[in-house]
Structure 1
Amino acid sequence: MTKSIQGLLFLPALFIYTLIDKKFFIFKDLNVYKGIALFVFTIGAYYLLREMYNPGYINAVWENELGGRYMNTVEEHTGEFLFYYNMLLKHHFKEWIWLVPIGFIIGISFRNILFRKLTYFSALISLSYWLIISISKTKLEWYEIPLFPFLAMLIAMGIFGIFYYLLIEPKLKTIFLFPVMSFLFLLVCLLYHILKWWTKFICLKNILGTRNFIN
């Protein structure tokens, strides 16, 4: 099995979040570099041992985990750049995807700094991971599964925020906030249906174009 690289796909987002959150002291912590060295040594030793007992293993790792699968289409598993976006829109998060931007807007509006940080973190992880797998030449439906918990977190922020502002916040603030949230809700729903019909239009156009080309 050669799927161990998957866990490292979140590193770019974690690095960016560290910079955004201004946790610069992490880069001065010697234990961080000790941990990195231990990780590289342990994983490197494992791969070298596997290569000794199973010649060609490192090449298999390259073809199935790194450049081979990422820069080239493997086993005809191909797709356009928006492949995973369309999967979320049409299948995996079909009824919920429109709540993601609402959850983000509500999440960053919380006065509680932990909620705001969690919102930014979930959004950054989701966007970064989605971009990485979307650029890849090889595409499979289940590659986007690690996105689900973070998208669900953003959706939960939106649902929680609605009840929080309606039931906990002072009535005066609720009077002004509820119409704004309702407007955002309707706006996102409208955009969702526009994107949905536009996607269908593009697909139909491509199908008709292909038929005309064949004829």
Structure 2
Amino acid sequence: MNPAKRQEMFERFRAANPKPVTELEYTTPFELLIAVLLSAQATDVGVNKATRKLYPVANTPQAILDLGEEELKTYIQTIGLYKTKAKNVIATCRMLIELHGGEVPEDREALEALPGVGRKTANVVLNTAFGHPTMAVDTHIFRVSNRTGLAPGKNVDIVEQKLLKFVPKEFLLDAHHWLILHGRYTCKARKPECWNCMQIDLCDFRGKTPAPESA
């Protein structure tokens, strides 16, 4: 995919959805951090169901610490890997209080030092909570980047670096959300809805799927 096509791709994303947002529900950087921690190998819908019950009861590091690991599990037990996630959330809350005054740090190194927080989670928090032009490459973004030819790469790190290089700067802040939504609802893993795609003429994917035949 050449620079002109990339520019056009993001022009179209912006025209269709000028202010894209994450589908995770949150009101503070801390709520976002915990939601992203819980979202690994889980759906945003599943995480939102859990946090809608949890956050009215505990939505600060101290409140979740006061809740305790066992009680926290009862709120998130519908989410995959909930036992490990509960342990990480408690440890993260403790570290936020001890090292950061209970606030979520606006710093990659400090974020990645938190239990259960890797590069992808740090990128989501920096981008969504603090407005940094970071690129969190999840399974949807990895697939869309490779399938369309936007930023092909063998692993998430290569794709991340290529996206940061190839996405026109004016679109970098929102690119993460557009690409996730595109992968989730149109450029799906098993059967992409190419017939319903605004980017079909720009996309390098050779196996474009035809529209399903109506009954």
Q: State the TM-score, normalized to the length of structure 1.
A: 0.22
Structure number with the higher helix fraction is: 1
In terms of Rg, which structure is larger? 1
Q: State the TM-score, normalized to the length of structure 2.
A: 0.22
More contact order relative to length (CA 8 Å, sep ≥ 6): 1
